[in-house]
Amino acid sequence: MATSDDKLCRDCAERYDPADDRCPSCSSQRAVQHPELFDLSTAHIDCDAFYASVEKRDNPSIRDKPVVVGGGRRGVVSAACYVARIYGVHSAMPMFKALKACPDAVVIRPNMSKYVEVGRQIRSMMEDLTPAVEPISIDEAFLDLAGTDRLHDAPPAVSLARLIRRIEEEVGVTASVGLSYNKFLAKVASDLDKPRGFAVVGRHEAYDFLGKQPVSLIWGVGKALQRKLSRDGITRISQLQEMEERDLIARYGSIGGRLYRFSRGEDSRTISTSRPAKNVSSETTFNEDLTDAEALRARLWPLCEKVARRMKRADLAGRTVTLKLKTNSFRILTRNHQLPAPTQLAEVIYQTAAPLLDREATGEAFRLIGVGLSDLSTGEFADPIDLLDASSGRVAKVERAMDDVRARMGDEAIAKGRSLPSQRKK
């Protein structure tokens, strides 16, 4: 008879007596056991070193070798397998540092189309389990399995173990599961036991568990806020638990409310099944038709800034820049260019779209111009530094410094010269 104390085999997804050392069905010792294991239904699934795992799947000869997915000595590491991580290699590390730390690493250039296709295959498997799937990126998602017990004749934990086994067998990559009662703690749990992990954070332990953790564990606490908290003497979540919500909000603004709630294991966010945007764009229709290339470029720049602002707010990056033009006869022209790496910078969007515009602005009258980014990914992959192009890092640094000024003083506080009205021609 099944009980709440049963062990769950992570290899064959069978429940068995907690007194047994091995699973009676498959003899595996890989089990998960938790008092609330079969009562929880909010999960986060994250594939392990996804890009590198796909490459190892497709080339078994490198399965046991350190693998780094990136652009040779240019740019940064997009992904590193767990063997490479032993040497200190991690994503977003400059490639030259990664190769210095692990000179024997097998370096593979990213193949995004392949990764997206594998991600879609895994997403389809998730949706076979529940329609309530919220994608976070191509290799991770939240799942709400509440009410699926009767559909699958098993509690959510068992269904999740079956799903992970299916992903390994049919796709050939591994994934880790975090199971809890809300999104924040499910995401925390999925990082506790990587790779091939299955971790649980229950209601009864959440407060004490969180109190032992550093403040950086809280979603939204980046390096800047972490430094500010540290200056105030706050380094552990237990210190946040001792503070009043009004005091945290007074000191840190709206994020103070999140610090208060998350430090106590409270997260009211629901799992959203809406699909992520396929592109982010902005366009404008002129009062009078424009034919002059310089005037058109002047209208292009503010649109690039709008797109960049939306990308940053949504923590997205795009690899394909698309220019849209509508003639005075209502004919629509679209031209696009694919970047070597995803971007969320207005300057990069503009410098890519402007040459596309110049090729079309040969005297024809236009009534509309637009620009957009597609081929989207998460912001963590945005604008890697090109070590062979010294200006690449400066562009990002300048634009983000301008963003900081605008955040403090308003959107009109600072602008580039091409934004000034005197630069525009009608």
- Sheet containing 175-180: give its strands across: 133-137, 140-144, 42-47, 175-180, 198-200
Residue 76 forms beta bridges with which residues? Answer: 94
* 140 tagged catalytic: yes
Q: How many CA atoms lie within 13 A of 187 on its CB side?
A: 18
CA distance linking residue 253 with residue 346, whole number of Å: 28
> Does a cis peptide bond (omega within 30 degrees of 0) precede residue 355?
no
Cβ(110)–Cβ(51) below 8 Å: yes
CA distance linking residue 30 with residue 51, whole number of Å: 25
Residue 175 forms beta bridges with which residues? Answer: 47
Phi, psi of 343 (to 5 degrees): -135, 160
Residues 118, 121, 122, 123, CA torsion sign:
positive
Residue 8 forms beta bridges with which residues? Answer: 15, 32
Q: For residue 221, give every residue at least 6 positions away whose Cβ sits within 8 Å of its Cβ, in sequence order, or none.
A: 215, 229, 259
Q: Which of 134, 140, 347, 399 is catalytic?
A: 140
**Which among 387, 393, 391, 394 has a CA at the least distance from the CA of 72?**
387
Alpha carbon 190 to its chain centroid, in Å, reads 15
Alpha carbon 2 to its chain centroid, in Å, reads 38
Cα distances from 85 to residues 90, 171, 371, in angstroms, run 6, 23, 39
Helix, strand and coil content of the chain, in percent to the nearest 5, comes to: 40, 25, 35
Q: Which residues are identified as catalytic?
A: 140
